[in-house]
Amino acid sequence: MCGLGKGEGILMGAQSILARVRHRFSFSNQGSTTENHLRHTSMVLACLVAVIVAGCSTASRHGTPSLAHDGHEGKVSQGLASHSIASPHESKSAKHLLDIPHHPSIDAWTFHYSEKNPRSFQILLERAEAYVVPAQEIFARKGLPRELVYVALVESGFRPTARSHANAVGMWQFIPVTGERFGLQQNEWLDERRHPFKAAEAAAEYLSHLYDLFDCWALALASYNCGENRVRSVLDRTGLHTFWELQEKGYLPAETRDYVPKVLAAVRISRDPVRYGFRYQPCQYEPWFETVLVPGGLKLCWLSERVGVDQTTLLNHNPELSKAHIPPYVLSYELCVPLGTREAVVAVLGNNFLVEELRSFQVNMGSSGALALGAAASEAFHEPVKPVAYSPRRGETVQNIAKRFRLTAGEGYAGGQSVASRN
């Protein structure tokens, strides 16, 4: 970097050159032409010195980082003018707003997505179109930026069945303990981390909690990736205040240092996909599914045969189901079916004698489970879960027990001595 001392050195050198020029011309013709040449040379040298000194002074004041893109100044640079500059003391924006700062790492990932790997990113955007609008409605209802749904693009590429090496599952990549913390059931029958929209509800609640902790979306996103306790510990230990400081000094895991700019780059592109060369129109979303209440234990193969929808299609519409039937421990379940098939499902289930036979079995089988379903009902329903004895703890109420087993108080057996197991 040029400094003031170096500028003074350049000035002294220029003055020396000018003196030698004057000395040379002092032995030649002193006519008007020579005098004009001397005056012109002096003016050029003076201007050159002024430009060099000013340039050095400017460089010493502004150390703007350059993009590591071989001088690329195309699509990435077009979108930067409207973004704020990331600084050690970022101004706090409202919770429902997501600001994208001008930062080299965000620019680098924007370039990566749009220039180095556009085909893969286009595939992710096309997959996102099936989920973005319903997920955005969930985030908006909770007072969060709608664009935070692109966390799922970075986490899983909008794949509901994604699973990481750390056993994080689903579109929003919840590990088991965090999924349970935010109300996502996980047992042998289903894993709600794979449910695109139940998991979106949980992700929105978690991100809202993280923002309330850090009052900053960059730190909230970092915490979503590596854990709130880790981020808080690093901030307390270093005395730093922003994600960008932690990133620059390497205090966070490499994955997290890339994670936040990845999400913000994806959001930047989503705001103006055409500018970055992508085809993406989530606003033209058309619903592709509808829901219908079905009884617990219902076999999907039985339903598939009667409504003309392939069982694989039903399972794809309900990725949270671990088996090809509805969990038998629930009285009813909200099943996702292809658009236009809800009425057919309702009509099939309108044959209530099957449902009533199942309910009678559930209520009357007692602790031994010795009774059996009738032939017709056993074809349609999985055997209900046997009840288990439960000894209430001191101070527990029926409501506490029902909540523990995800039941309403009225679903327990007479006398409150046993409840249906939910594994």
State mean pLDDT over 153-167. 96
In percent, the amount of the chain with pLDDT more than 70 equals: 62
Residue 193 is predicted with a pLDDT of: 98
| 80 compared with 388, residue with greater pLDDT | 388
Residue 90 is predicted with a pLDDT of: 57
Q: Which of 152-156, 157-161, 339-343, 369-373 has the lowest mean pLDDT?
A: 369-373
Residues 6+ apart with CB under 8 A from 123: 157
Residue 396 is predicted with a pLDDT of: 74
DSSP, res 115: I
Q: Look up the pTM and report it.
A: 0.68
In percent, the amount of the chain with pLDDT more than 90 equals: 57
Q: What is the mean pLDDT of the chain?
A: 77
* DSSP structure string for 292-342: EEEETTBBHHHHHHHHT--HHHHHHH-TTBSSSB--TTSSEEEEEEETT-H
Sign of the dihedral through C-alpha 323, 329, 334, 340: positive
Other Cβ atoms closer than 10 A to 377: 19
- CATH number for 88-284: choose from 3.60.10.10, 1.10.530.10, 1.20.1740.10, 3.30.200.20: 1.10.530.10
Residue 79 is predicted with a pLDDT of: 41
39 pLDDT higher than 90:
no
Residue 285 is predicted with a pLDDT of: 86
- Of the pLDDT bands very low, low, confident and very high (cuts 50, 70, 90), residue 73 is very low
Count of all residues that appear for the chain in the document: 423
54 pLDDT higher than 50:
no
255 pLDDT higher than 80:
yes
Q: Summarize pLDDT for 197-223 with one digit per residue, the tens.
A: 999 999 999 999 999 999 999 999 999
